Amino acid sequence: MMRQFELVERVRSYDPNADEDAINRAYVYAMKMHGMQKRASGDLYFSHPIEVAGILTSYKLDTASIVTALLHDIVEDTMASLEDVRELFGDEVARLVDGVTKLAKLQIQNMEEKQAENFRKFVLAMSEDIRVLLVKLADRLHNMRTLHFITDPTKRRSIALETMEIYAPLAERIGMQEIKTDLEDLAFGELHPEARTSILARLRFLELHGGELVVKVMDELDQVMRRAGIEGFISGREKTAYSIWRKMQIKDVSFEQLSDIMAFRIMVDKPEDCYRVLGVVHTAYPTIPGRFKDYISTPKRNGYRSLHTSIIGPQRHRIEIQIRTHKMHEVAELGVAAHWRYKGSDLFGDDGAAKSVEGRQYSWLRELLDILEHAQSPQEFLEHTKLEMFHDQVFCFTPKGDLIALPRGASPVDFAYAVHTEVGNTCVGAKVNGRIVPLRTRLQNGDQVEVVTSTKQKPSPEWEGFVVTGKARAHIRRRVRTEARTEYIKLGHEILEKVFTKEGHALTNRGLAGVLDKLDVETIDDLYAKVGEGRLVGREVLVAVYPGARMDGGEDNIVNLSQARLRQTHEGSGSIAIRGRTTGMAIHLAECCHPLPGDRIIGIVVPDRGIEVHTIDCERLSDYTETPDRWVDLAWDADKDQDAHIGRVNLVVVNEPGSLGALSTVIARNFGNISNLKIAKRSKDFFEMSLDIEVRGVKHLTNIIAALRATPAINSVERARS
């Protein structure tokens, strides 16, 4: 175990200005807090954070990162709290420790191929500060090195799988090739021990028979370079067991068929030398077509630069050669961590501008460093770095642990549609982290979302107002449109039935089919829909089919207000039954009189809106006395109707303490539920207000009104009429 002064010395060797005191205090504090806790290896737990800090010193990370490494398990595994860390080590370290702790809590249960990319993004989004991820990667590397001490094979396997699918690719993404290769090879040993053993044995066998192939090839390449007068450094290696295995998998070939098991690297001082080396190599040996890549002129997204080529090389072996400068090599191995190395180095002038062409290539690293140092918040940092592409996303989990990535601002409805179209179409509610929430709730990173469905549910037009994903919006629109059409067709059919029957004519498909052209519709359903929508009056259809029928319909058919008041509407008396609440697409309860089940009602066909339902004494009905064709008899379909309805009342309440309390008590005692309250006027003595109350029907509302009238604090109560 590395001792305190050794760690401090290592940091000081690359950063003379490091905060020694902070590192010393963190070392002592972590040792004290972890106390006698043991690792699976039998070592003291404290050895782990020290090793992690040690790994990070080889990447020359700053003091805050080293301190964070020492403290990274302290909040999760000891009595220390994040507040303690903040008090002792400041905000920056507390923020970083918090980030690593959050990642530690992440339980990745489901590791399907398609999920892995989401998890990687999730880890990046959760990391916020790139140093959180660096500490996490070092933590994972040490845990993988000590993985064999864990006795439970299932646990070993799941850690190895997570390493292979999530952390190794993340290391690659931020350009840390060395960590990536180590993680992969360790995970490979756990996941496919036999494959690894046999590949290694095979490599040893080849070595025995072919001699030191790698050395021979290196010698020959060296001579070729010398003859051309180029100074360079050549390194060669067998590829790792894991990368050979990957090749065998991808290309579906056996080990014997796999020829390029060796990789060589030629490092030179200047970028232009890279191209000279390439020319020399390509002149000396046949190249393998399709394998040349120029990542110097077009660097990879993670900043990687190099030339790649494959040749039939010395001794007729197929080999891969990477050609790069020493500095490109450092960036390739260390990735983002390399930028600490260039801090204050001669690559940059005093103004921070890159001095040379090569320096300019590192400018993105320089920028990253500046942002790290000067950003006010993690958000600001994110906005400026490669991580920002995940900043506009939220990552949520299904109860089974599947990860769903959604745009920021997404609602449970978006989540439901992302899971499956049917889940979206039948979604009635949602639980987020175990609590019931409104469907318009905005989801947060890491939320676990459980969608409640019901086969009776249909997408609501209101959802369109808050969903953010195209998929959800498209499905809602489509369903609402078909839904509305079905209702209009049904309604149109009922209206025509009624009009035709009244005049003693039969409504037949044949009759209707003959007048489709005349009425400018394509199908009989279109005709029904047009009538249901109110764009065509029933009697026009009747006259079209039976030209002898009278357009005005005669005296007896004119429904005027006085007649309407007297008319009894019973179910089954030829009136159209409606389900109370309405709110199909085709039938709407009027806002003016708020009809309730039990009220006598009349329907008015409103073009493009369907039928508007009014109470029979609603004053608005006088607007329609001139257009009797628009009137439709309606009755409540009482049996099917169990929904709550909104009844609106206007009240005048005495302005004194307790009067509002009395009001709500009376309503609650009578099993009403106040859904909305609006104070219209407030004077010294009185409130004038309107209340929306959820009730079962008109009788229920009448009872509540009676009870309110009996309450002393309430001056007057009226059912709202407009």
Q: Residues interacting with Mn ion, by CB under 5 A?
A: 73, 139
CA–CA gap between residue 602 and residue 634 (Å, rounded): 5
| Least distance (Å) between residue 188 CB and Mn ion | 22
Q: Which of 580, 567, 579, 573 is nearest to 617 (CA)?
A: 567
DSSP codes, 506-537: ---HHHHHTTTTTTT-SSHHHHHHHHHTTSS-
| Least distance (Å) between residue 135 CB and Mn ion | 9
Written as six digits, the tokens of 14 are 């690359």
DSSP codes, 467-481: ---HHHHHHHHHHHH
Chain residue at closest Cβ approach to Mn ion: 139
Rg of the Cα atoms in the chain: 38
Catalytic status, residue 76: yes
Residue entry with tokens 């050895």: 47
What is the β-pairing status of strands 293-294 and 262-268?
unpaired
| Least distance (Å) between residue 183 CB and Mn ion | 15
What is the β-pairing status of strands 610-615 and 601-606?
antiparallel
Residue in 19, 77, 402, 540 annotated catalytic: 77
Per the CB < 8 A criterion, the answer to whether 609 and 634 are in contact is no
Closest to Mn ion by CB, 152 or 639: 152
Amino acid identity, residue 360?
R
Q: What is the DSSP letter of 463?
A: G
| Least distance (Å) between residue 140 CB and Mn ion | 8
Closest to Mn ion by CB, 76 or 370: 76
Burial degree of 153 (CB within 10 A; 0-12, 13-18, 19+): exposed
| Least distance (Å) between residue 49 CB and Mn ion | 7
Q: Which of 545, 555, 557 is nearest to 630 (CA)?
A: 557
Q: How far is CA 581 from CA 97, 202, 573, 602, in A?
A: 54, 76, 21, 15
HEC-encoded secondary structure of 424-444: HHCEEEEEECCEEECCCCCCC
Closest to Mn ion by CB, 102 or 341: 102
Closest to Mn ion by CB, 127 or 325: 127
Amino acid identity, residue 233?
F
Closest to Mn ion by CB, 136 or 327: 136
| Least distance (Å) between residue 43 CB and Mn ion | 13
DSSP codes, 236-263: EEEPPHHHHHHHHHHHT--TTT----EE
Residues 6+ apart with CB under 8 A from 683: 655
| Least distance (Å) between residue 73 CB and Mn ion | 4
Closest to Mn ion by CB, 129 or 139: 139
Output phi, psi for 430, to 5 deg: -150, 145
Q: Provide long-range contacts, Cβ within 8 A and 24+ apart, for 454-457.
A: 454/426, 454/428, 455/426, 457/425, 457/426, 457/427, 457/428
Per the CB < 8 A criterion, the answer to whether 653 and 660 are in contact is yes
CA–CA gap between residue 103 and residue 126 (Å, rounded): 7
Other beta carbons within 10 Å of 218: 19
Closest to Mn ion by CB, 103 or 472: 103
Closest to Mn ion by CB, 139 or 612: 139
3-state secondary structure (DSSP) of residue 212: coil
Other beta carbons within 10 Å of 480: 18
Closest to Mn ion by CB, 96 or 476: 96
Closest to Mn ion by CB, 77 or 688: 77
| Least distance (Å) between residue 139 CB and Mn ion | 4
Closest to Mn ion by CB, 48 or 60: 48
| Least distance (Å) between residue 369 CB and Mn ion | 26
| Least distance (Å) between residue 96 CB and Mn ion | 14
Q: What is the DSSP letter of 559?
A: -
Residues 6+ apart with CB under 8 A from 115: 402, 403
CA–CA gap between residue 62 and residue 96 (Å, rounded): 12
| Least distance (Å) between residue 100 CB and Mn ion | 8
Residue in 9, 21, 76, 388 annotated catalytic: 76
Catalytic status, residue 129: no
Residues recognised as catalytic: 76-77
